[in-house]
Amino acid sequence: MRQPMRQLADVAACRSGDKGNILDLSLMAPNATVYAVLQQHVTADAVRHHLAPWAAGPVTRYELPRLHALKFVVEAALDGGAARSGRADNLGKTLGAALLRLEIPWPPSSSPSSPSSPSEGPDTGPPPDDEGGSHA
């Protein structure tokens, strides 16, 4: 049976920023469960492949389990940077939304109830859910 897929836009949010020719993406989950799925499926390689028409790469990923967020630093992504780019979106402001077009397996193949590393210590970690149910 074919694995059902879901677009990241249905489950997460993303904001993009720029430093020179480098694209900086923050992919944010509404809770630890979704974060664990993102951590499993939205790898640096998946992002590099997805953004390949725009970005030469390489892509580096950073994990923020307490904030339920992943960061991606995508090099050579902005047509030379804001002051050189010919693109209508010379700052890459819409490329976070472009990442949200990526499709990942859903429901995830491994159980999200046993995520590999979200940190939710009752004393030091954040509350389990962000308010507002904003992404799902």
Partner 1 sequence: MTAVRVGGGLGFYGDSYRPALNLVEAGHVQYVAFDHLAELTLAILAKDRRRDPSLGYARDLLPLLRFLWPAAVQRGVRLISNAGGLNPMAAGAAAAQVAHDLGLSARIGVVHGDDFRGRLDLVEWDDSDPSAPPPVFANAYVGAAPILSALDQGADLVITGRVADSALFLGAIAHALHWDLSGAGPIDWNRLALGAVAGHLLECSGQVTGGNHSGHWQSIPDLDRIGYPIAELSDTGTLRITKVPGSGGRVTRDTVREQLLYEVHDPSRYLTPDVTVDLSETWLADAGPDMVDVCDVRGHVRPDAYKVLAGCPDGFLGQGLIGFSWPDALDKAEAAAAILARQVQAMSLSTTAPTAEYLGVSSFHGPLAAPVDRGRVNEVYLRMTLRTATRGAADAFARLFPPLALSGPPTASGLLGVDRVRELFWSRTGLIPRSVLDRGVRVDVRPAPAFYAGGSETRGGSTLL
CB of 61 closer than 8 Å to CB of 75: no
Q: Name which position in 84, 107, 109, 117 contacts partner 1 (CB under 8 A).
A: 84
Cis preceding-peptide flag for 112 (omega within 30 of 0): no
DSSP letter, residue 31: B
Question: Three-class SS of residue 25?
Answer: strand
Q: How many residues bind partner 1 (CB under 8 A)?
A: 50
Q: Name which position in 37, 96, 106, 108 contacts partner 1 (CB under 8 A).
A: 96
- Please, which residue, 107 or 125, has the CB nearer to partner 1? 125
- For residue 86, state whether it binds partner 1 (rule: CB under 8 A): yes
Q: What character string, x for contact with partner 1 (CB under 8 A) and - otherwise, covers 22-61?
A: x-x-x-x---------------------xx-xx-----x-
Question: Three-class SS of residue 5?
Answer: strand
- What Rg value do the Cα atoms of the chain yield, rounded? 16
Distance CA 102, CA 23 (A): 17
Please give the residue ranges that form the binding site for partner 1 (CB under 8 A). Answer: 13-15, 17-22, 24, 26, 28, 50-51, 53-54, 60, 62, 64, 66-67, 69, 71, 73, 80-84, 86-91, 94, 96-98, 101, 124-127, 130-135
